[in-house]
Amino acid sequence: MSQTVVVDIVRIAVILGMFLGCVAYLVWVERKLLGHIQIRVGPKRVGPYGLLQPIADFVKLVSKEDLTPPNAHRALFRLAPAIALVPAILSIAVIPFGGTIRVLGREMPIGIADINVGLLYVFAMSSMGVFGIALAGWSSNNKYSLMGGLRSSAQLISYEVSLGLSVLGVVLLAGTFSLREIVAAQHPIPFVALQPVGFLLFLMASSAEIARIPFDLPEAETELVAGFHTEYSSMKFAMFFVAEYANLVTVSAMAVTLFLGGWNGPFLPGPIWFALKTAAMLFLFIWVRGTLPRYRYDQLMRFGWKFLLPVALLNLLVTALIVALSGGEG
Amino acid sequence: MSEVRTEEMVLNMGPQHPSTHGVFRVELVTDGEIVTETRPHIGYLHRCFEKHAEHLQYTGIIPFTDRLDYLSGMNQNFGFVLAVEKLLGSEIPERAEYIRVIMAELNRIASHLMMIGHMGTDAGAITPVLYGFRDREYILDLFEEVSGARLLYNYYRVGGVIADLTPGFVEKTRKYLDYLERVLNEFDQLLSENKIFRGRTVGVGVLPPKVAVDYAVTGPNLRACGVNWDLRRDEPYSIYPRFKFDVVVGREGPGVVGDSWNRYWVRVQEIRESAKIVRQALDGLPEGDFIKAPKSIRPPKGSEVYHRTETPRGELGYYVISDGTPTPVRVKVRSPGFVHISAIPAFCTNMMVADLVMAMGTLDFVMGEVDR
Amino acid sequence: MLSDFLPIGILFLMAVAFAGIALAAPHLITRAHPTREKMLPYECGIDPVGDARGRFSVHYYVVAMMFIIFDVEVVFLYPWAVAFRQLRMVGLVEAAVFLAILLVGYVYLWRRGAFEWD
């Protein structure tokens, strides 16, 4: 038993370390890509090709003054970044990165945990993030923060409904919540082929969930300066930042798991396929950020409630009808 | 039972705010996301231009005019030297006239490119502004060639311009104008035809023509309201009557006349029109002197003049009074940005904060000329 | 079954530890030098007028209520989706009835302008 736990701890620490490393370098990749989209070169000063930039950023942020505004609600102000960060990290727990691997004579699935309600767990964790943002906005006692916090809360909960509905088609086809089994169900054909509408809905709803352009209203800097984290400095700011990029990675990984066949793929080992597909998704998100303007708040709400929600419901019903008529074989 | 209402929140936008385009402050009274009242405050960039001018000789004032609207220094120079020449009644060489128009129009293109790019930023698109910078860069290179400066040119002189065009300037400019046409199509794809961008600008911040005229709004902002008025055509100065160009006026569809969309669109089209003027001027560019400097710049005692020109931002007027010395008694600037800011409370109410940003951004004021 | 969740527990402890260290680290490395201006809430360089914690627009609450209604709907649909292969047509009809009832509420909200913001 104790040996299992030690193996678990090591395995989880390795995965967590890799995940945080990915998140840190995602910032570099995004800056570099955006740079090239915008005919700039992006970071290049720190290390070759600016590769040490994330480390330099970290050193800078950690050595900054950590201020708590006197009028803020102190406890909540300090707790909010942690509430944003912890669920963001936790949601990677159930994502399967690959098939199984033999370590110390035991077959182990590549991933942290394999639970039968994996999908529900991811949504539970991702909806926790809104608390961090709402509390940060309210506790700062700053008008921009408050408006940013309110907007974010309203936006995140509005799109969560559509997000939940958009993946139901996949659940219907796979008949399970376990992400591992969902991936297994996509062995010959990834679900994106059977659920193209669901995939697009998922992309739109999840961009709104992680507040990416064109739905990045919580941080609409031209209106609200920095939105809910206006008052945050030093590592507290960094934690929001890490949470944001961690969510971006998680969403990309979820899109791969649910729609793009997960680690399935010919020739290459599973985890490599998984990494490649996730990287492609991340590229898509960054590309969109370099291209589109931002919705206005009321347009965002209207889009979510009047377009996304009905289409998601319709998609679900049509899928159910087809499944029922075709004798349940997908 | 008294009605429970949302408490109105007084919100400051500026002076240190990403979207006030300089150190401009506007006080907003907001109810939720809706702005119910706006109160602009100016003066953060006051540099006593007019007082300085009373202690400088005429030529010494020219570099100060560059700093009024630092995005279109050539146009600011232009207006001032025209005013002084009107006082003196002096003639200037043909070639100088052409060079002046070429520079002013190129600067108009550069200024509008910046405005278009920044509108993208206001709408949340982070890329167009850098494309705007890229395309403006070529113009700045051209300016650097002829004047030695990239931003504050100090190029116009009473009687002409300080230096002749460099060899190759004409060809380079022609090449640039060809390139610009392609680039404008790129902007159209990136912004003008983008559904989200249209959603953010169409019908937003509608400035009714009557309000615009009452507040003396000028330039592209006035034309976007459907008022057909351009000083280059209606009160011609320099050699503008020789050139063929259209005055672009705001139109219905996809936008509403007077909205942010039209203010954007008018500027995009004006770039095309300016390019036309530059082409014609390059074709007709005569040989000859580029300056015929007067022996001394001492306008007659008691003479005064108000001369207005069309800058990228609107009507720029210089009111100059002379007492017969080489130093003016008074120089008053009528800057378009100042007037436009005063119109903000008149039409920027009952809109969302995001719309206010768009509406203010499309007015395209530069605080340097507002505060002077 | 419960042991499946053990790795998640370990990850949770690690995440909390990471967050805790991140919160504490700046205090160990640097020291805050507060001044009056630095500690003011940021309002573009102007001393803030009034408090940020006023009553805010009721519309945000409406959105929250809509969320509760529709998210519960989604939660009901989740087990239905998993069990759909057993339920088949019966399940489809049941879900259709359930959604039809919700549709009434949805149409009501739409017509009352709950999705608009003015």
Selection from A39, A17, A43, A47 nearest residue A30 by Cα: A43
**B314-322 and B328-334 beta bridge pairing:** antiparallel
DSSP for B231-268, written as a single string: HHHHS--TTGGGS--PPP---SSSS-TTSHHHHHHHHH
Query: Once rounded to an integer, what is the mean pLDDT over residues B219-227?
Result: 88
| Residue numbers in A near C85 (CB within 8 A) | 175, 323, 328
- Give residues 5 to 24 of A whose Cβ lies within 8 Å of B: none
- Give residues 134 to 153 of A whose Cβ lies within 8 Å of C: 138, 140-146, 150, 153
| Residue numbers in C near A70 (CB within 8 A) | 39
Chain C contact present for A175, CB below 8 A: yes
Nearest to B6 among C48, C50, C55 (CB): C55
Query: Once rounded to an integer, what is the mean pLDDT over residues B65-70?
Result: 86
pLDDT at B77 over 80: yes
Which tokens hold the place of C44? 């573009």
* Confidence (pLDDT) at B344: 86
* Confidence (pLDDT) at A283: 92
Taking any CB pair shorter than 8 Å as contact, residues of chain C touching chain B are 43-46, 48-50, 52, 54-60, 117-118
Chain A contact present for C60, CB below 8 A: yes
Query: Once rounded to an integer, what is the mean pLDDT over residues A80-88?
Result: 89
Inter-chain residue contact A301 with C19, CB threshold 8 Å = no
| Residue numbers in B near A147 (CB within 8 A) | 33, 353
Place A220 in a pLDDT band, splitting at 50, 70 and 90.
Answer: low
Regarding pTM above 0.90, the answer is no
Query: What is d(CA B311, CA B149) in angstroms, rounded to the nearest whole number?
Result: 20
Mean pLDDT score of chain B: 85
Lowest mean pLDDT among A4-8, A184-188, A218-222, B301-305: A218-222
Chain B contact present for A214, CB below 8 A: yes
Inter-chain residue contact B10 with C49, CB threshold 8 Å = yes
In percent, the amount of chain A with pLDDT more than 70 equals 94
Taking any CB pair shorter than 8 Å as contact, residues of chain B touching chain A are 9, 11, 17-19, 33, 120-127, 130-131, 134, 190-191, 194, 196-197, 199-200, 352-355, 357
Lowest mean pLDDT among A12-16, A189-193, C54-58: C54-58
> How close is the nearest chain A Cα to the Cα of B133, in Å?
10
CATH 1.20.58.1610 for domain C2-111, yes or no, is: yes
In chain A, which ranges are continuous DSSP H helix?
2-37, 53-62, 74-90, 118-139, 143-166, 168-174, 179-185, 191-194, 196-209, 221-224, 234-259, 270-291, 297-302, 309-325
Nearest to B199 among A38, A147, A299 (CB): A299
Q: What is the pLDDT of residues A161-208, one digit of tens each?
A: 888 888 888 888 888 888 888 888 887 888 888 888 889 999 999 888
Query: What is d(CA A82, CA B306) in angstroms, rounded to the nearest whole number?
Result: 64
Domain boundaries, chain A: 73-325
pLDDT at B300 over 70: yes
Query: Once rounded to an integer, what is the mean pLDDT over residues B233-261?
Result: 85
Nearest to C26 among A9, A11, A66 (CB): A66
In percent, the amount of chain A with pLDDT more than 90 equals 3
* Confidence (pLDDT) at B19: 67
pLDDT at A254 over 80: yes
Number of domains chain B is built from: 1
| Residue numbers in B near A39 (CB within 8 A) | 130-131, 134
What SS3 state is found at B318? Answer: strand
Inter-chain residue contact B9 with C57, CB threshold 8 Å = no
> How close is the nearest chain C Cα to the Cα of A180, in Å?
13
pLDDT at B303 over 70: yes
* Confidence (pLDDT) at A330: 42
Query: Once rounded to an integer, what is the mean pLDDT over residues B259-272?
Result: 89
* Confidence (pLDDT) at A328: 47
Inter-chain residue contact A67 with C32, CB threshold 8 Å = yes
Lowest mean pLDDT among A210-224, A226-240, A294-308: A210-224
Is residue B78, in this structure, part of any structural domain at all? yes
Query: What is d(CA A83, CA B281) in angstroms, rounded to the nearest whole number?
Result: 64
| Residue numbers in B near A38 (CB within 8 A) | 126-127, 130-131
Inter-chain residue contact A89 with C15, CB threshold 8 Å = yes
Mean pLDDT score of chain A: 83
Lowest mean pLDDT among A86-90, A243-247, B254-258, B272-276: B254-258
pLDDT at B270 over 50: yes
In percent, the amount of chain B with pLDDT more than 70 equals 97
pLDDT at B114 over 50: yes
Inter-chain residue contact A323 with C10, CB threshold 8 Å = no
Strand partners, B37: B29
Lowest mean pLDDT among A65-79, B138-152, B231-245, B265-279: A65-79
Inter-chain residue contact A296 with B11, CB threshold 8 Å = no
Inter-chain residue contact C53 with A138, CB threshold 8 Å = yes
> How close is the nearest chain C Cα to the Cα of A181, in Å?
12
Place A111 in a pLDDT band, splitting at 50, 70 and 90.
Answer: confident
In this complex, how many residue pairs, one in chain A and one in chain B, have their CB atoms less than 8 Å apart?
81
DSSP for A98-164, written as a single string: SSEEEETTEEEESSS---TTHHHHHHHHHHHHHHHHHHHHHHTT-HHHHHHHHHHHHHHHHHHHHHH
Q: Which helix (H) or strand (E) holds B368?
A: helix B367-371
CA B265 to chain centre: 15
Query: What is d(CA C9, CA B124) in angstroms, rounded to the nearest whole number?
Result: 40
Q: Which helix (H) or strand (E) holds B352?
A: strand B351-352
Q: Which residues contact A68 (CB under 8 A, 6 or more apart)?
A: A74, A77, A78
pLDDT at A319 over 80: yes
Q: What does the buried/exposed string (b/e) look like for A181-199 if buried means 16 or more CB atoms within 10 Å of the residue's CB?
A: bbbebbeeebbbebbebbb
Q: Which residues contact A204 (CB under 8 A, 6 or more apart)?
A: A162, A308
Strand partners, A102: A107
Domain boundaries, chain C: 2-111
pLDDT at B66 over 60: yes
Q: CA–CA distance from B294 to each of B53, B57, B89, B336 (Å)? A: 20, 14, 10, 30
Please name the residue of chain C whose CA is at the shortest distance from the CA of residue A165: C74
Mean pLDDT score of chain C: 79
Chain C contact present for B126, CB below 8 A: no
Query: Once rounded to an integer, what is the mean pLDDT over residues A233-246?
Result: 86
pLDDT at B34 over 70: yes
Greater confidence, A218 or B138? B138
pLDDT at B20 over 80: no
Most confident of the following: A245-259, B186-200, C101-115: A245-259
Name subunits touching C (3+ CB pairs < 8 A): A, B
> How close is the nearest chain A Cα to the Cα of B223, in Å?
26
Chain C contact present for B12, CB below 8 A: yes
Inter-chain residue contact B32 with C50, CB threshold 8 Å = no
Chain B contact present for A299, CB below 8 A: yes
pLDDT at B1 over 50: no
Q: What is the pLDDT of residues A143-167, one digit of tens each?
A: 778 888 888 888 888 888 888 888 8
Inter-chain residue contact C6 with A5, CB threshold 8 Å = yes
DSSP label at residue B310: E
Q: Which domain holds residue B207?
A: 49-343
Question: Are A238 and C25 within 8 A, CB to CB?
Answer: no
| Residue numbers in C near B10 (CB within 8 A) | 49-50
Q: What is the pLDDT of residues A51-70, one digit of tens each?
A: 888 888 888 888 888 877 87
Please name the residue of chain A whose CA is at the shortest distance from the CA of residue C103: A310
